[in-house]
């Protein structure tokens, strides 16, 4: 791993999305890393952990991944596909 990269976990990523304690610090880090062109790396399980956390926050998940949506749509009514959205 190079000196110009960082690894972040799900809890930090969620602070970028939701207004939580220390979200201001998390956003400041993101802004700094963006300015410094730091490569942000995530563990392979981040997408699964984030999806689980979003579900527990009663937050719907929107995806453009048709295959994934078809696989889960009948069991997970909080997962939505971009194709469901109607542009007005």
2 pLDDT tier (thresholds 50, 70, 90): low
Instruction: Tell me how far apart the alpha carbons of residues 29 and 64 are, in angstroms, rounded to a whole number.
Output: 28
Instruction: Indicate the pTM of the whole model.
Output: 0.65
Burial class (CB in 10 A: 0-12, 13-18, 19+), 55: middle
Q: What percent of the chain has pLDDT over 70?
A: 98
Q: What is the DSSP string of 56-73?
A: HTT--EEES-HHHHHHHT
Q: Within 13 A of 34's CA, how many CA atoms are on the CB side?
A: 6
Q: In the predicted model, what is the mean pLDDT of the chain?
A: 90
3 pLDDT tier (thresholds 50, 70, 90): confident
Q: Domain segments of the chain: what residues? A: 1-57, 60-88
Tens of pLDDT, residue by residue over 32-59, are 999 999 999 999 998 888 888 877 877 8
> Could you give the 3-state DSSP secondary structure of residue 40?
strand
């Amino acid at each position: 791993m190079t000196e110009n990269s960082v690894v972040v976990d799900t809890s930090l990523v969620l602070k970028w999305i939701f207004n939580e304690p220390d979200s201001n610090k998390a956003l400041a880090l993101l802004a700094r890393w963006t300015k410094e062109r730091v490569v942000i790396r995530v563990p392979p399980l981040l997408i699964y952990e984030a999806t689980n956390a979003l579900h527990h926050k009663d937050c719907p998940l929107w995806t453009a991944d048709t295959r994934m949506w078809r696989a889960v749509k009948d069991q997970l009514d909080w997962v939505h596909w971009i194709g469901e959205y109607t542009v007005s």
